[in-house]
Amino acid sequence: MKYKLTDNRGFTLLEMIMTVAVLGIFFGVVYGFLNFNLRFMNQRGGEQDYQLQGRIAMQRLENLLREYQSIKITGFDVQVDQDSPVNLVNFNQNTTNIAGYRYFFFWDSARGVGELRNGSGATVARGILSISFVDEPAEGVIRVAVKSVPPGNPADPGQTLSTRLRKGRSYNPL
């Protein structure tokens, strides 16, 4: 094939406008598609983040309560069950008495969502909507539930993690 290297006629204005228009449509489609995918991936990233926060809160609570031979629930306190009970977790969202607790539930009323904080007040897990401990005396266990939601969206269904922990670790039924 022979190219005419001496052909220097260039392009007409109409050709340039058509080219720019076609390129505009092409890049518009590409941008729209990429933007949709990126938004979707960001949304997924956010979901993974609040799911991770829920897991962190649950793991911290489980690890703490497994350290003790016997635990019980009194009101909104999870305590070491002994002659002089020791407070471990305060899961009352309206409390201001946090002294001596290993973990407590801090409620941020402005955002409508809470945090799990440790005894020194540092945030352990954020985006926590509720923490609950329910005694199941017939089973000899305490049911623990942690619900986490995306930041800034407390109305989201979120994620609920739930498990059970033995109240006494010295008893073997088998």
Partner 1 sequence: MTLVEVMMAVAVFGIILAFTSQMTTTSNRISGDNFNRVMMMELAQAEMERVKAGGVYGTHGEIEYPPGGSEQKFYITYNRDDTEPLYVIMQIVVGPVPAAPGPLSADNPDNYVLVSYIPPVL
Residue ranges binding partner 1 (CB under 8 A): 26, 30, 33-34, 37, 40-41, 44, 47-48, 51, 55, 58, 62, 134, 136, 139-141, 143, 145, 159-168, 171-174
Q: How far is the CB of 23 from partner 1 (least distance, A)?
A: 11
Q: Where are the beta strands (DSSP E) in 44-140?
A: 71-74, 77-80, 86-90, 103-108, 113-118, 123-136
Cβ proximity to partner 1, 56 vs 98, nearer residue: 56
Decide whether 37 or 82 has the Cβ nearer to partner 1.
Answer: 37
Least distance from partner 1 to the Cβ atom of residue 143, Å: 6
Structure-token pair, residue 162:
């739930």
Choice between 98 and 145, CB closer to partner 1: 145
Reported as half-sphere exposure (CB side, CA atoms, 13 A), residue 17 has a value of 3
Q: Identify which of residues 7 and 84 has a Cβ nearer to partner 1 in the complex.
A: 7
Rounded Cα–Cα distance for residues 174 and 170 (Å):
12
Closest approach, Cβ 51 to partner 1, in A, equals 6
How far is 174 from 151, CA to CA, in rounded Å?
45
DSSP state of 109: T
Cα–Cα distance list, 169 to 61, 89, 172 (Å): 16, 18, 8
Q: How far is the CB of 97 from partner 1 (least distance, A)?
A: 29
CB 56 to partner 1: min, Å: 12
* Cβ nearer to partner 1, comparing 8 with 170: 170
Contact 119, 95 (CB under 8 A): no
